[in-house]
């Protein structure tokens, strides 16, 4: 890069006081080196060389960072500094409430105008809505209260400018109102808004129904209207009521079934006890009638079991141990104290088999021994 003392190439007449016409200005047309004060337009970028001897395009590019909310009402960049909305450097861009900045197009330097003077802006952060200015005497700084700027404490860093120590002071700007507009086309950068007269008498891009302006996000955000909120709450309450009602109905039906099942179980148990008692009384009546004499037991060469031992073996003649049903009664599975599994045939109270038939069956089975016949282990009366 060739740098001379005067970066401006000019042509002038030979007279001493003639007008000078600029042909080319190096600070407005950077080449391979960028110096403070040079102008960098939005459509301009600088690309590094591939290496020291190769001027081909390298891996690094220097350009304006246009990230963030960009609108047609944004002010033009000032050198390398972006001026995000709503900050304003002139009357035809940004928001008038934030018109406290000045751009030196020659040096590309942004300055902030306050009641106590004009201060150099060192940085602007759109994401946090703040910027920094260099102040020599912080106590003397006075802001215009009619503008949307708030002063915060100085940053704990200093810089030496013109041999005098200055402090970097952070200033935060408040969220802006809706953008000022003249025509509906001016609101294209703010969806869900139309150009209407606002309460301050100015025409602004006011958000449509169901949307509300968010000054931090610079956009119209959707909100629920009171009627919609009421409908949602009513719908939630209705669904909850239906779920609770169904749950209560299910619990009621379930408890009723369980109660009915318990009652039926108790009735069945009482019936079994009654049938058992009736059967026992029937057999006892047969014994007391004298039809079954002591000498009838002489022909039966098998053990005699009492009723209690049979009850224990068959779990009180439970339905779980029932194997089947014959012509004269039910057959139950049982287990003797010795571990021997047995089958117990119980005479039904409504059976047509009498005591004589029972005795003959016991004697016949006891005398008949065959591998295909069930062995008789004993009897009970």
Sequence-separated (6 or more) residues with CB below 8 Å from residue 112: 100, 101, 102, 118, 119, 120, 121, 131, 133, 171
Tell me what the mean pLDDT of segment 237-249 comes to: 92
pLDDT tens-digit profile of 216-228? 778 888 876 666 6
- In DSSP notation, 132-157 reads EEEES-GGG----TTSSEEEEEEEEE
At 251, the pLDDT band (50, 70, 90 cuts) reads very high
8-48 residue pLDDT tens: 444 444 444 444 556 666 766 676 677 766 666 555 677 88
Mean pLDDT for the stretch of residues 191-214: 86
- Residues 362 and 381: beta-carbon distance below 8 Å: no
Residue 338 has pLDDT above 60, yes or no: yes
282-293: average pLDDT:
52
**92 pLDDT higher than 50:** yes
* 97-101, 189-193, 313-317, 351-355, range with the lowest pLDDT: 351-355
What pLDDT is recorded for position 225? 60
Residue 334 host element (H or E): strand 329-335
Predicted pLDDT of residue 17 = 43
What span, in angstroms and rounded, lies between the C-alpha atoms of 190 and 186?
A: 9
At residue 174, does pLDDT exceed 90? no
Higher pLDDT, 352 or 344: 344
Q: Is the pTM higher than 0.85?
A: no
pLDDT at 98: 86
Phi and psi of 185, rounded to 5°? -65, -25
pLDDT-based confidence at 290, cuts 50/70/90?
Answer: low
pLDDT, position 39:
61
The pLDDT tens digits for 70-79 are 455 778 888 8
Q: How far is it, in rounded angstroms, from Cα 38 to Cα 31?
A: 11
């Amino acid at each position: 890069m060739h740098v001379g003392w005067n970066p401006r190439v000019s042509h002038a007449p030979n007279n001493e006081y003639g007008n000078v016409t600029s042909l080319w200005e190096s600070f407005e047309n950077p080449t391979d080196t960028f110096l403070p004060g040079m102008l960098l337009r939005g459509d301009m970028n600088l690309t590094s060389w591939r290496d020291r001897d190769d001027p081909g395009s390298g891996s690094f590019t220097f350009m304006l960072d246009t990230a963030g909310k960009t609108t047609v009402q944004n002010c033009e960049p000032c050198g390398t500094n972006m001026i995000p909305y709503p900050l304003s450097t002139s009357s035809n861009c940004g928001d008038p409430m934030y018109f406290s900045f000045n751009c030196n197009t020659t040096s590309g330097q942004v300055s902030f105008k306050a009641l106590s003077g004009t201060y150099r802006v060192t940085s602007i952060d759109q994401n946090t809505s703040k910027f920094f200015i260099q102040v020599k005497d912080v106590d003397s700084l006075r802001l215009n209260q009619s503008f949307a700027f708030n002063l915060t404490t100085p940053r704990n860093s200093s810089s030496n400018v013109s041999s005098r120590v200055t402090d970097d002071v952070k200033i935060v700007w408040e969220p802006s109102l809706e953008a000022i507009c003249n025509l509906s086309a001016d609101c294209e950068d703010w969806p869900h808004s139309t150009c209407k007269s606002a309460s301050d008498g100015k025409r602004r891009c006011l958000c449509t129904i169901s949307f509300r302006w968010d000054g931090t996000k610079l956009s119209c955000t959707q909100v629920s209207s009171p009627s919609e909120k009421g409908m949602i709450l009513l719908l939630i309450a209705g669904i909850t009521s239906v779920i609770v009602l169904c749950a209560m109905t299910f619990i009621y039906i379930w408890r009723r079934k369980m109660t009915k099942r318990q009652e039926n179980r108790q009735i069945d148990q009482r019936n079994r006890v009654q049938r058992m008692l009736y059967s026992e009384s029937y057999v006892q009546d047969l014994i007391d009638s004298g039809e079954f004499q002591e000498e009838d037991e002489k022909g039966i060469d098998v053990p005699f079991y009492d009723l209690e031992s049979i009850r224990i073996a068959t779990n009180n003649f439970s339905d779980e141990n029932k194997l089947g049903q014959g012509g004269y009664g039910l057959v139950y599975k049982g287990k003797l104290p010795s571990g021997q599994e047995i089958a117990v045939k119980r005479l039904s109270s409504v059976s047509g088999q009498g005591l004589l038939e029972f005795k003959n069956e016991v004697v016949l089975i006891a005398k008949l021994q065959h591998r295909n016949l069930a062995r008789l282990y004993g009897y009970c009366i």
